Structure 1
Amino acid sequence: MRDLSGVHPPVATPFGEDGELALDAFDNNLREWLSHPVAGIVVAGSTGEAPLLDRRELCALVETTAARIGDRTLTVGTGAESTREVISVTREVAGLGANAVLVRSGSYYLKAMKPDVVRDHFLAVADASPVPVVLYHIPQFVPVHLTPDLVGRLAEHPNIIGIKDSSGDLRNLGQLIEACGRNAQVLVGSGALLYAALEAGAVGGILGVAVVATRSSCQIYDAWREGDHRRAGAMQERVAPLHKRLVAEGGIVSVKAALDRLGLYGGPPRSPLQPADAARLADVDAALEAAALGVSA
């Protein structure tokens, strides 16, 4: 089983003022993110505006990342409403260098998403995928609850190796850890909970805040792994407010504005999302100043 331990930034997708993918800017950003001891990169996660990308763009992002990532893990979000589409995209990105895929449940036909339907969806993807599958639990965007019981049963499949839990609920995270046992690894999705999640038994995190505070997020993990709990806790106290203001409250728009402020390329979000207004930019500046953190800090 591929080891997912560590910090995986779910990287932002840069667009130019014309709305087209800005691959050169993406490649430059990758150089910075990969200069830190991240365990891997996640392309086309929520922070990467996954639902707003077409397949051509997704493949270009995967190829660019695969050319740079070396032996670290390249995880690609391949969630879609139909099981057929998930399998098709998964096979394509695996052929381009993805080491794992991050897969959500469908939710458009929410009332039909009963536990057995969701189970069959993930099992079909796991059966067909050439690379390991990481389940994606993000109830704020996909209101299908992946219960610990269901996840525990899915984790028995040899090609399902983990779950990203973005519920923000430590109790739920603990139940998922218990349900997965040795069959699958659990990654936390909240940058405010990394230290607590590691203490509970998670192996790392796919953290939106790590796109902005890459080094600091890695330092939390490294300090915890080295048994320096005081330092890990102190770093977590600095990162948590940044997560709250930039990721939980501000979302993609604030993350991209923060990247611009820090000398990387954030650029505009894709329509219908709108760029940060003056008030949002002021809040981003205040959050960065209060944390005294950044991609290189």
Structure 2
Amino acid sequence: MAWPTRVPTYLTYERPWMNHDLSAYLTPAADAPAASFRGKYPADFFRQPVETNLLAWHLVGGLDFLTVAEAGAARLTDGHPTSLDEWVERDGLKALKVKLRGNDAAWDFDRLQAVAAVGLPRGVELFTADFNCTVTDPAYVNAVLDRVKAALPELWSRLSYVEQPFPYELEAHRIDVHSVSDRCPLFLDESAHDWRLVRLGRELGWTGVALKTCKTQTGALLSLCWARAHGMQLMVQDLTNPMLAQLTHLLLAAHTPTIAGVETNGMQFYPAASAPEAMVHPDAYRRRHGRVGCASLRGPGFGYRLAEIDRPLPLLRAVAPG
């Protein structure tokens, strides 16, 4: 049988392209007898059908201006939004990820309240709270969540999950986090660079996993499969992906049954960096109506369509030996 030699990458994550099933790479948790990887391939855990029109999550940094008035004289005039209210209105944003301090509960609550005050009247529907790996006691997170639930019920009803409050060195900090995940879905991020750590996280009470292509494509896929087999929730998050990195990022999200869309913030931090790629894949680099798209990806590999992208590359310089 002659196999085609130019196929999309995601079609190769099954037989006959893979030499082994997932049982060669993954081991189920001891307390999950129904989980099995025998005869299973990554494609068995992908979203069906693939979703190429994705809800876009915007990152709200701890130092970001929330309103034009707050920005004041610091407001930029480069044609791009400076403050959160401008971003929400221009891009039609529906989902916000809020960076918190994790060492100042009053500030964290006030920040969530302030972001909600900007987002909710403008149509934002979903929020997440990212405590940024700085918390060491679950009681801290519980107290913030309980205060939000009591004082900000609309925000509470739209809080999708809490992200990585605790140190990312999971093996060194084996904190029981069941009390947090009993309140709100709790997602591993920095810790989840290996499926074995996802397994440990589940034992400690984590209920979800944030996947990132920067942790390697293979690592992300193995974590995806292990997590899905054990009933954990999934998200695909950004590390400010520009240029071609954004395309592999969105492809992972398109194939992953995330709880809601994909985090994508490259257009916040260097919007002009991907201009050549955006000429071919416009929906991948500009959020419209709160969404991004990757339907333009097609052909072999990751579907980059490199021949159509006018990306000038620096010339190689000859280096004299010695």
Specify which of 77, 93, 96 is matched with residue 38 of structure 1: 93
1:164 Cα deviation from its structure 2 partner? 4.9
Shift of 1:30: 1.8
Match of 1:102 among 162, 166, 170: 162
Match of 2:62 in 1: 13
The whole-number CA distance in structure 1 between the counterparts of 2:64 and 2:108 is 13
Over the matched positions of the two proteins, sequence identity in percent amounts to 14
Question: What is aligned with 1:124?
Answer: 179
Are residue 185 (structure 1) and residue 234 (structure 2) matched? yes
1:168 aligns to 2:252 (yes or no): no
- How far 1:234 sits from its partner (Å)? 7.0
**Structure 1 residues 22 and 221 mapped into 2: Cα distance closer, same or farther (>3 Å)?**
closer
> 2 CA distance for matches of 1:179 and 1:159?
14
* Counterpart in the other structure of 1:74: 127
* Residues 181 and 207, structure 2, Cα contact 8 Å, conserved in 1: yes
Deviations 1:91-148 (A, max 9, x none): 23344314134332633987632xxx25x32x33101x2x333x1422xxxxx45532
Aligned length, in residue pairs: 210
Pair 43,210 (structure 1): closer, same or farther in 2 beyond 3 Å: farther
Q: Do structure 1's residue 59 and structure 2's residue 112 form an aligned pair? A: no
**Does the Cα contact within 8 Å between 2:94 and 2:124 map onto a contact in 1?**
no
Matches within 5 A, 1:108-257: 112-113=172-173, 117-118=174-175, 120-121=176-177, 123-127=178-182, 129=183, 131-133=184-186, 135-138=187-190, 144=191, 147-151=194-198, 160-165=207-212, 167-181=214-228, 183-190=232-239, 191-192=241-242, 193-200=245-252, 201-202=255-256, 203=258, 204-212=261-269, 213=271, 216-218=285-287, 222-224=292-294, 227-229=295-297, 233=304
Gaps of 5+ in 2: 1-53, 72-80, 273-282, 312-322
Unaligned runs of 5+ in 1: 45-49, 139-143, 241-297
1:270 matched to which residue of 2?
Answer: none
1:28 CA drift (Å): 7.3
Check the 8 A contact 1:136/1:165 in 2, yes or no: no
Aligned residue runs from structure 1 range 284-295, under 5 A = none
Contact in 2 for aligned 1:188/1:194 (Cα 8 Å): no
